[in-house]
Amino acid sequence: MRFKVTAPTEDYSGKTGDVQFSQGSAVIDEQANPMELAYCRNAGYSVEPVQEEKPADPVPEPEPVPFDPSQHDIPTVLGHAEAADADEATRVFDAEAAGKNRKGVMDNRDAVMSRKESVQ
């Protein structure tokens, strides 16, 4: 635990043991400097626990945005469909059909999907 220690003399700047005081105060870690903390308590210094800040909750990773074929050119859409599993490729081709429905994408659907079936 850490403690804010205030010297009896407001403007004291100097070392007490291994602890550096500046303008009458210092923060002492009881693990690192137990002797200095004990001295300060016995010598009339004001000793108050430091409220440790609770670590912030980790920020959750945002959900990945699904690949939107309408935002990409035909070669990128086909490359994504080729690299994806069968469910993702089906979703991409269905999204293309419901959106831009480009001939260059849709003409390749059967070939891409048949390659997926042969891999399974």
Taking only the tens of pLDDT, the chain with its 120 residues reads 999 999 998 899 999 999 999 999 999 999 999 999 999 999 999 999 998 777 778 888 888 899 999 999 999 999 999 999 999 999 999 999 999 999 999 999 999 999 988 766
| Nearest in space to 9 (alpha carbons), one of 33, 27, 28, 26 | 26
Structural domain of 21: 2-49
- Give me the pLDDT at residue 19, please: 95
Q: What pTM value is reported for the model?
A: 0.50
Domain assignment present for 61: no
Q: How far apart are CA 106 and CA 21, in angstroms?
A: 74
Q: Give the dihedral of Cα atoms 13, 15, 20, 26; nearest 10 deg.
A: -70
Residue 118 pLDDT:
77
CB-based burial label for 4 (10 Å; 0-12, 13-18, 19+): middle
For residue 34, the Cα-to-chain-centroid distance in whole angstroms is: 35
Whether 64 maps to a domain, the answer reads no
What local confidence, expressed as pLDDT, does residue 120 receive? 60
Instruction: Determine, yes or no, domain membership for 89.
Output: yes
The verdict on residue 6 lying in a domain is: yes
Confidence (pLDDT) at 114: 93
> Do both 6 and 37 map to the same domain?
yes
